[in-house]
Chains A and B, each alone.
Chain A
């Protein structure tokens, strides 16, 4: 059982506050979806959990399995089992997908790393995501379409076997068929490994494949409403304009500070 607990998290960049007293708990086996208007801090949240040094944490804590992450480096967090599928995966000239993942998997497994198993796994995963095996030996995301980049993020998730998965707008840039492949692949992984999952998305369509246990609406740097999957339908029909930021609600294992204070 793995647990990510974010408590009273405040984050700023260039003196502008992005996250304000943000609270959330995700346990293994739970799927959380975060939705919200553009510029509300959703992607910032995922990057801060991963340790992006661009952002400054001014208050609060991020605990994973009882360990404070805030002073840990990005790679230490990743080796604890945290994974971020990025909204805009970079292309890196000259570094092949094979070299990149071999280095990453080797660092995770240490002496248990076996090259033959690695090759079998990466080929199987490329097949699963309907990516051409030749792409394994191309530069990381170099010449990849938007959809192929997103699939490549899922390949990396499969290869690294994280226990806490964050997927930041993994549905953007995907056509209908690719969305199904990615959605099904994430759920297949979930079925086997039972990680905690944090999805950041704007659209219902991804949630047709990846069914969230909890849906959170984020505005102005914190969660303003939480509910089950029915909340997505409500947002689709009514937009974010009708969400009253002051009337905060929570369900399940979500920790929302305002509610705790109300009690």
Chain B
């Protein structure tokens, strides 16, 4: 499997085969940002391990060719990152994004362009927010019959403040698009958390769903687990784990599970 390790705004290690063409773009002097461009040519997967030891900015571009299945698995930690992702997904491509973050301060902009018929993205994002984190996502359905499924989960702890702004856009004429947004934040402190789910749809012939929920674990869930003899503390830990592991599978799930166990 392809793998890159990024520390701050530089690649420290990389194992990339012929299925992906990786390009380091010229540094944007004005904004002082390094950029990495991934051209995905054939079915493949990519693991990204990203750590920031200082305040860091980075841009990443993913161009997924037509008919290609592409999986991204990203783990991010560190002090402070400001990252922009741009996805260009061509016809009949299928992109699955799995991300787990446990960094301090994060600002992120994700721009997803579904540029060809039957282009699909499944986006499964989990974060533990212990400082300030803000995520802006723009999903452009630029072609008919495109599909986006955005599944964001945030656990807000300690001094955390967490914001999800998620906007799906369908212009007139882009028929038969399917849009799902499912955003949830468990707020374990009393600081500010916000979800802004936006559906900007001009076309009538689309299927669009969204749900947004900010809250704590329910008393009913805790009662159910405790009624089997599990202490309140362990019941909460189980719920946290379940919340952050939902929708993850295989080796990536095991890695995330280990991180959660070690943080407890």
Chain A residues within 8 Å of B, Cβ to Cβ: 50-54, 73-75, 77-79, 83-84, 86, 89-90, 92-96, 99-101, 103-104, 107-108, 139, 156, 160
A54-B223, A83-B227 given. 9 additional CB < 8 A pairs?
A75-B228, A94-B241, A94-B246, A100-B225, A100-B230, A103-B230, A103-B238, A107-B229, A107-B231
| A107:B230 contact, CB within 8 angstroms | yes
B123 CB-CB contact with A under 8 Å: no
| A104:B224 contact, CB within 8 angstroms | no
| B229:A79 contact, CB within 8 angstroms | yes
- Within 8 Å CB of B220, what residues of A? 90
| A95:B229 contact, CB within 8 angstroms | no
B85 CB-CB contact with A under 8 Å: no
> Which of B219, B223, B238 is the one whose CB lies under 8 Å from A100?
B238
- Within 8 Å CB of A100, what residues of B? 225, 228, 230, 238
> Which of A50, A86, A92, A104 is the one whose CB lies under 8 Å from B221?
A92
Residues 68-97 of chain B, each 1 if its beta carbon lies under 8 Å from chain A, else 0: 000000000000000000000000000000
Q: How far is the CB of A14 from chain B (nearest CB, A)?
A: 14
B201 CB-CB contact with A under 8 Å: no
| B229:A93 contact, CB within 8 angstroms | no
Q: How far is the CB of A180 from chain B (nearest CB, A)?
A: 26
- Within 8 Å CB of A51, what residues of B? 226-227
> Which of A89, A96, A160 is the one whose CB lies under 8 Å from B224?
A89
> Which of A83, A84, A99 is the one whose CB lies under 8 Å from B238?
A99
Query: What is the CA–CA distance of A104 and B229 in the complex, to the nearest angstrom?
Result: 6
- Within 8 Å CB of A73, what residues of B? 226, 231-232
> Which of B227, B228, B242 is the one whose CB lies under 8 Å from A93?
B242
Query: What is the CA–CA distance of A86 and B225 in the complex, to the nearest angstrom?
Result: 12
- Within 8 Å CB of B247, what residues of A? 94
In chain B, positions 218-264 with a C-beta closer than 8 Å to chain A are: 219-221, 223-232, 234-235, 238-239, 241-247
> Which of A54, A86, A93, A103 is the one whose CB lies under 8 Å from B234?
A103
> Can you name 28 A-B pairs with beta carbons within 8 Å?
A50-B223, A50-B227, A51-B227, A52-B223, A54-B219, A73-B231, A74-B223, A75-B226, A75-B227, A75-B229, A75-B235, A77-B227, A78-B226, A84-B227, A86-B224, A90-B224, A92-B221, A93-B242, A93-B243, A95-B238, A96-B242, A99-B242, A100-B230, A100-B238, A103-B230, A104-B228, A107-B230, A139-B242
Q: How far is the CB of B93 from chain A (nearest CB, A)?
A: 28
- Within 8 Å CB of B230, what residues of A? 75, 78, 100, 103-104, 107
Q: Which of B221, B229, B230, B242 has the most CB of A within 10 A?
A: B229
Chain B interface main SS type: helix
Q: How far is the CB of A18 from chain B (nearest CB, A)?
A: 17
| A53:B223 contact, CB within 8 angstroms | yes
**Known contacts A53-B223, A54-B219, A74-B223; is-contact A94 B243 (Cβ 8 Å):** yes
- Within 8 Å CB of B238, what residues of A? 95, 99-100, 103
Q: How far is the CB of A109 from chain B (nearest CB, A)?
A: 10
- Within 8 Å CB of A54, what residues of B? 219, 223
Q: How far is the CB of B84 from chain A (nearest CB, A)?
A: 29
| A139:B246 contact, CB within 8 angstroms | yes
Query: What is the CA–CA distance of A90 and B226 in the complex, to the nearest angstrom?
Result: 13
**Known contacts A54-B219, A92-B239, A95-B239; is-contact A75 B231 (Cβ 8 Å):** yes
Query: What is the CA–CA distance of A96 and B247 in the complex, to the nearest angstrom?
Result: 12
Query: What is the CA–CA distance of A96 and B219 in the complex, to the nearest angstrom?
Result: 19
Closest 9 CB pairs of A and B: A94-B242, A94-B246, A95-B242, A74-B226, A78-B229, A104-B228, A75-B226, A79-B229, A90-B224
Query: What is the CA–CA distance of A208 and B247 in the complex, to the nearest angstrom?
Result: 42
- Within 8 Å CB of A99, what residues of B? 238, 241-242
Query: What is the CA–CA distance of A9 and B229 in the complex, to the nearest angstrom?
Result: 24
| A75:B224 contact, CB within 8 angstroms | no
- Within 8 Å CB of B243, what residues of A? 93-94
Closest B residue by C-beta to A103 = B230
Query: What is the CA–CA distance of A93 and B226 in the complex, to the nearest angstrom?
Result: 16
Query: What is the CA–CA distance of A94 and B155 in the complex, to the nearest angstrom?
Result: 14
Q: How far is the CB of A237 from chain B (nearest CB, A)?
A: 36
**Known contacts A92-B239, A103-B238, A107-B234; is-contact A74 B246 (Cβ 8 Å):** no
Query: What is the CA–CA distance of A156 and B226 in the complex, to the nearest angstrom?
Result: 13
Q: How far is the CB of B154 from chain A (nearest CB, A)?
A: 14
Query: What is the CA–CA distance of A139 and B241 in the complex, to the nearest angstrom?
Result: 12
Q: How far is the CB of B234 from chain A (nearest CB, A)?
A: 6
| B245:A94 contact, CB within 8 angstroms | yes
| B245:A156 contact, CB within 8 angstroms | no
Query: What is the CA–CA distance of A94 and B239 in the complex, to the nearest angstrom?
Result: 8
